[in-house]
Chain A
Amino acid sequence: MHRRSRFILAAIPILALSIAVPFVNRVEPRILGLPFILAWIAFWVVVTPFVVLRIGQIEGRW
């Protein structure tokens, strides 16, 4: 579980914010008024801190 899973966890938001964005490159459905592509990016920006906190937990940092 330990060493590999933290790198997989770390890769998820990076891929979601880079490679995945061309695949969500559309306006609809609008979320809270934001075009979908922008809402997608904002969603991952908000989720990332929790992912990083989890990585720290797996590593036993806190």
Chain B
Amino acid sequence: MNAATPLGIVAAVVLGTMVFAWINARRVRMSPQEYIVGGRGFGAVFLWVLLAGEIYTTFTFLGAAGWAYSFGAPAFYIMAYGTCAYIIGYFLAPAIWRIGKERGLLTSPDFFAARYGSKPLAVLVAVVQCVAVIPYVTLQLSGLQIFLTIAGYGKIDAQAGAVVGFLAIIAFVFATGLRGTAWASIIKDALVIGALLFVGIAIPVHFFGSPAAMFDQLLRAHPHALTLQSVSGVHGSVWYVSTVLLTGIGYYMGPHSIAAVYSAKDANALRRNAAFLPFYGLIMLLVFFAGFSALLISPGLKGIAADQSFLVIVQRFYPSWVLGFVAASGALCALVPATALLLSAASIVAKNIIGDVFGVGLEDKARVFTTRIMVVALGLFALGLWLVFKTTLVELLLLYYNGVSQFAPAFIFGFLWRRTSALGIGLGIVAGLSLALYLAAFNLTPFGLNAGFLGLLLNASVVVAVSLYSRPSEEFFAQTHRKAPG
């Protein structure tokens, strides 16, 4: 097979997307507001691709199909949680946005500083979020390597390709900030939807006649694959419900999602987005179709091989240009979310650690500069980590999925309960995170519950208990009420 065609398409699409986004984003005069939260001027389209684009990362593209392939029905949670998240987001996102706008907040830890008036809490959050985000960036690098390996029919050094792609991305974030991510996300999402329509419909139709016929065959071959198999066992009903609730609550809690919320031009833009975003989740059906088709066409794959199953089918049965476009959309799924993650981590270090703790880079120009330096520094750090530890880092990802959800009580209690104290939130995060990581590290699932969900329950209990016996931060409400008209 000729590897030049698909690899050429991947390179052209990635480069074209970056140039397109750079041309559209370059005219802006950079201030920290512009660079980190897009000048708080994003309307419907940008918000849509930034907040919904969260779903279309390599995890979705490879992981969701891999889950359908390996586990069957438990994968359905991936379609359900986004919808729950958008309903919660309808109420939560405008409230976060309003405080961001009133106080000029740039990062997620800024919210903690503003609401709870506690610098140590903001620093704790800043450190945990950076530690959580870096492994997530390295996961995208592993995803990129997989797409390049398949697009090159295994003939090229995909690791070198991934390094080149990632270095280009660091330069891209350095130059464009959040606006570049937003423009690139538009192309990414358009291509991903195209690729998913292809793999989710063309593959079942080509091999089985229709998706319905594919399910008929699947039920004959694997009669138990399409339902949850137990109540409190591994991936049973209890696990399903607790996972949907945990990931639904945690959806907006990643620091890059908070930055996307700040970037909205008004609160109603966020509300309208929340209303229509579930339609995007429907496309997840096609990912399941692709994963289930792969299970019938090439059964017996395990682990990472199962994640790549439908790509291998595209590689084996379809022309090289088709493979090129599917791999290119996958590569953008790795690179574009990496830009948002990298920018959010860099802005947190620059603002909440270098700025607020060490007092360096407080002026607008200096802050843009320190953020850009941190984009390069953290980008190279993530790249180094990936090259050295590649495989073991996947376990660190537990820190991300279970970790970011632990910030939810700070936002939810913060708006609903005046007494919530900085000490309560801080201890809650530490307790919830410790429990979730302990359970995840030893693969413990009491009552079949999701580890992060148990962490979140402990977290919320600690927040309530400690807040009742510590001094709340009344200053925040005093200020907000003074500003309110009337």
- A interface with B by C-beta (< 8 Å): 10, 13-14, 17-19, 21-22, 25-27, 30, 32-35, 37-38, 41-42, 44-46, 48-49, 51-53, 55-56, 61-62
Q: Which residues of B are in contact with A by a Cβ distance under 8 Å?
A: 73, 76, 79-81, 83-84, 86-88, 90-91, 210-213, 215-216, 219, 226-228, 231, 237, 240-241, 244-245, 248, 268, 271-272, 274-276, 278-279, 281-282, 285, 288
In the complex, what distance in Å separates the CA atom of A21 from the CA atom of B77? 10
Evaluate contact between A13 and B87: CB separation under 8 angstroms. Answer: yes
**Assembly CA distance A55 to B87 (angstroms):** 10
Question: Can you spell out 18 A-B residue pairs with CB atoms less than 8 angstroms apart?
Answer: A14-B84, A14-B88, A17-B80, A19-B241, A21-B76, A22-B228, A22-B231, A25-B237, A27-B226, A33-B216, A34-B215, A35-B215, A45-B80, A48-B83, A52-B87, A52-B275, A56-B271, A61-B268
Task: Let me know if B87 and A10 touch, CB within 8 A.
Answer: yes
CB distance from A57 to the nearest CB of B (A): 10
State A28–B80 Cα separation when bound (angstroms).
Answer: 20
Pairwise interchain contact B83-A33, C-beta atoms closer than 8 A: no
The answer to whether B282 touches A42, judged by C-beta atoms less than 8 angstroms apart, is yes
Q: Looking across the interface, which residue of chain B has its beta carbon closest to that of A19?
A: B241
The residue in chain A whose Cβ has the minimal distance to the Cβ of B231 is A22
A51 contacts across to B, CB distance below 8 A: 87
B288 to A38, Cβ gap below 8 A?
Answer: yes
The answer to whether A46 and B227 touch across the interface, beta carbons within 8 angstroms, is no
Bound-state CA distance A21–B227 (Å) is 10
Residues of B within 8 A of A37 (CB): 73, 76, 226-228
CA of A37 to CA of B279, assembled, Å:
18
Q: A25, A33, A45: which contacts B210 (Cβ < 8 A)?
A: A33
Question: A14 CA to B274 CA in the complex, in Å?
Answer: 14
Instruction: For B242, give the chain A residue with the smallest CB separation.
Output: A18
Please give, as numbers and ranges, the residues of chain B lying within 8 Å of A45 by CB-CB distance: 79-80, 83, 278-279, 281-282
Find the B residue at minimum CB distance from A56. B271
Instruction: Give the top 9 A-B pairs by smallest Cβ distance, nearest first.
Output: A33-B212, A22-B237, A52-B275, A17-B80, A35-B226, A18-B244, A48-B278, A14-B84, A18-B241
Q: Is the CB of A10 within 8 A of B91?
A: yes
Task: Among A22, A41, A46, A49, find the residue whose CB has the most chain B CB atoms closer than 10 A.
Answer: A41
Q: Are B226 and A52 in contact (CB under 8 A)?
A: no
Q: Contact between A42 and B83 (Cβ–Cβ < 8 Å)?
A: no
Residues of A within 8 A of B76 (CB): 21, 37-38, 41
Which residues from B are CB-within-8-Å of A61?
268, 271
Residue of B219, B244, B268 near A17 (CB, 8 A) is: B244
Q: How far is the CA of A56 from the CA of B272 in the complex (A)?
A: 8
**Closest CB-CB distance, B267 to chain A, in whole Å?**
9
Distance, CA A8 to CA B276, complexed state (A) = 19
* B268 / chain A contacts, CB cutoff of 8 Å: 61-62
Say which residue of B87, B228, B244, B278 sits within 8 Å of A46 (CB atoms).
B278
Which of these, A32, A46, A55, contacts B90 with CB under 8 Å?
Answer: A55
Beta-carbon contact of A41 and B79 below 8 Å? yes
- Min CB distance, A60 to chain B, in Å? 11
Contact B80 A41 (CB under 8 A): yes
B52 to chain A, nearest CB (A): 13
